[in-house]
Amino acid sequence: MARLLVVEDDETIGSVLESSLERHGFTVHWERSGRGGLVAAGAGDYDLVLLDLGLPDLDGIEVCRRLRSSQPLTVLVILTARHEEMDVVIGLEAGADDYLTKPVRLTELLARVRAHLRRGPASRIAPAGDVEVGTLRIDPAGRRVFLDGQEVPLRTKEFDLIARLAESPGAAVSRDALMTDVWDANWYGSTKTLDVHIAALRRKLTEAAADPRLAPRISTLRGHGYRLERPEESACDSGSSR
C-alpha cells in the first residue's frame, strides 16, 4: 500500500486530504508544520509527499528543498493557492516533481497521485545500456548522467527528460510526447512544469561542462517541443536558440 505524507497547516484542507486519500486505499500521515513534515519524512518511508507551501514555521520552498535532498526517490507534489505562479516555478526549481492548485479537486488529486505512484522509480524511463551523445553519457541502470567524465547531479524528472531526449539525438520531441512519457498521459495541469525542468537541465549541463560553449544543447522548437542536438550540430551552430 502506498504511503503518503501530507504537510498542511490548514485543518480543513488537511483533514479532507487525509480522509479522502485514506478512503481510496492510501496510508496517510498528516503533519501540520514544516518541521514536523521534515521529521516525519526522515523517519518514515514515504512514496509521495503533498506539501503545502504556506506553512506557519518554515518557508515551504525551503521544506521542499530539504525534502528533495534527503528523500531523492520520494515524489514531491506541492500544493499552492491559485495564481501563485511564482511559487510554483520556485517550488519546481526547488525539487518538486509536480504541483496542484488549491482548492484541489479530489478526482484530479487521485489521478495525479496514482499516476506518480505508477511511475515509481523502478518503472521510470530506462533505455537499455549506456547512451552516449558526444561527451554526455547516460547510465539508465544507475540513473546517472556524466558529462566530460563528471557526474551531473540530476533530479528524477530531469533525468527522465534527458534520457527521453537522448533516445533520439537530433530529433524533435514534441511537448506532448515529453509530458506523456516523463509525466503522465492524463496530464491535467499546465505544462509549465516541463519548461521549468528543461531550464534546470540546461543550467546544470552548462555548469557541469568543462567548456560551457560545448555543453550539450537542448533547443527549443517553438510551438512543438525540444531537441537534444547532436554534438557536431551544437559545435557548428554557435547561434544558440536557447
Question: Considering only residues 53-92, where is the footprint of Ca ion by CB under 5 A?
Answer: 54
- Residue with smaller CB distance to Ca ion, 9 or 31: 9
Which of the ranges 7-15, 20-28, 85-93, 96-104 carries the binding residues for Ca ion, by CB under 5 A?
7-15
> Which range of residues in 6-14, 30-38, 133-141, 194-202 is near Ca ion by CB under 5 A?
6-14
Nearer to Ca ion, 36 or 134 (CB): 36
- Using CB under 5 A, which of the segments 48-56, 71-79, 150-158, 170-178 binds Ca ion? 48-56
Cβ distance to Ca ion smaller for residue 81 or 210 = 81
To the nearest whole angstrom, how small is the minimum distance from the Cβ of residue 38 to Ca ion?
16
One of 52, 97, 98, 181 touching Ca ion (CB under 5 A): 52
| Nearest residue (CB) to Ca ion, 13 versus 125 | 13
CB of 47 or CB of 52, closer to Ca ion: 52
Taking residue 156's Cβ as centre, other Cβ atoms within 10 Å add up to 22
Distances (CA, A) of 65 to 34, 128, 181, 198: 12, 31, 25, 18
Number of shown-chain residues binding Ca ion (CB under 5 A): 3
Instruction: Give the CA dihedral 52, 11, 45, 188, nearest 10 degrees.
Output: -50
The residue whose grid cell reads 553519457 is 137
In this structure, what C-alpha cell is assigned to residue 19?
Answer: 480522509
For residues 16 and 59, the answer to whether their CB atoms sit within 8 Å is no
Write down the residue that cell numbers 550540430 correspond to: 233
Give 52's strand partners.
79
CA 67/CA 59 separation, integer angstroms: 12
Residue with cell 510526447: 177
Interacting residue with Ca ion among 4, 6, 7, 9 (CB under 5 A): 9
Instruction: Choose one: 22-30, 51-59, 188-196, 216-224; the region binding Ca ion (CB under 5 A).
Output: 51-59
Using alpha carbons, select from 142, 147, 143, 152 the residue that is nearest to residue 132: 147
Q: Does 13 bind Ca ion (CB under 5 A)?
A: no
CA 131/CA 139 separation, integer angstroms: 7
Q: How far is the CB of 101 from Ca ion (least distance, A)?
A: 13
Q: Which three cell numbers stand for residue 69?
A: 535532498
Near Ca ion by CB under 5 A, which window of 2-10, 19-27, 71-79, 171-179?
2-10
- Residues in contact with Ca ion by CB under 5 A are 9, 52, 54
